[in-house]
């Protein structure tokens, strides 16, 4: 049974394993080199409160995570957030993403955020499809803004207004 909960520092090694897979095998992130445990612990330290990080767990194993980050640093953007979601490769297509994204949207509303932005470079279309099913609207595409796997990558932006 899949359960969702707040991420804890003890989850960082599992989060790291999931994320590093996508660095090496996917254009879902524009990081090019796998992260160390120290780097990921520093990254994790920025979450909590206004910027939650949640994990999906199955039988005690972290199988995915989702978090909200500041969209931009200027004060006028303070109620706009960016969402990130990563599901372990062997757990994709099982509804984990929908559970995580639903929960993070609920949390964003409770916190009082106004909008959630998702930047997606996804050649499979899975992430874009998930976001659209959850109510996000396509709002634009930046062409050839990241270079990975020997080719230029586009990033599509999706937005959900939390009315």
DSSP string, 55-71: EEEETTEEEEEEEEEES
Question: For 37, phi and psi rounded to 5 degrees?
Answer: -60, -40
Q: What are phi and psi of 150, to 5 degrees?
A: 75, 15
| Stated pTM of the model | 0.95
- Cβ(55)–Cβ(7) under 8 Å? yes
DSSP, res 35:
P
Per-residue pLDDT tens digits of the chain, which is 163 residues long: 899 999 999 999 999 999 999 999 999 999 999 999 999 999 999 999 999 999 999 999 999 999 999 999 999 999 999 999 999 999 999 999 999 999 999 999 999 999 999 999 976 678 999 999 999 999 999 999 999 999 999 999 999 999 8
Domains of the chain (ranges plus CATH)? 2-161 (3.40.630.30)
How far apart, in whole angstroms, are the C-alpha atoms of residue 17 and residue 63? Answer: 10
């Amino acid at each position: 049974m899949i359960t969702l909960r707040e991420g804890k520092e003890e989850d960082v090694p599992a989060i790291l394993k999931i994320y590093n897979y996508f660095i090496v095998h996917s254009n879902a992130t524009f990081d090019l080199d796998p992260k160390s445990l120290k780097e990921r612990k520093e990254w994790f330290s920025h979450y909590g409160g206004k910027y939650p990080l949640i994990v999906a767990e199955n039988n005690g194993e972290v199988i995915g995570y989702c978090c909200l980050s500041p969209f931009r640093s200027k004060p006028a953007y303070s109620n706009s957030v960016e969402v990130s979601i990563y599901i372990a490769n062997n757990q994709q297509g099982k509804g984990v993403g929908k559970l995580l994204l639903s929960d993070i949207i609920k949390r964003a509303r409770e916190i009082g955020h106004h909008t959630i932005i998702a930047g997606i470079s996804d050649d499979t279309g899975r992430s874009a499809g998930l976001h659209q099913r959850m109510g996000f609207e396509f709002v634009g595409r930046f062409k050839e803004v990241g270079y990975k796997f020997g080719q230029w990558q586009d990033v599509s932006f999706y937005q959900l207004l939390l009315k």
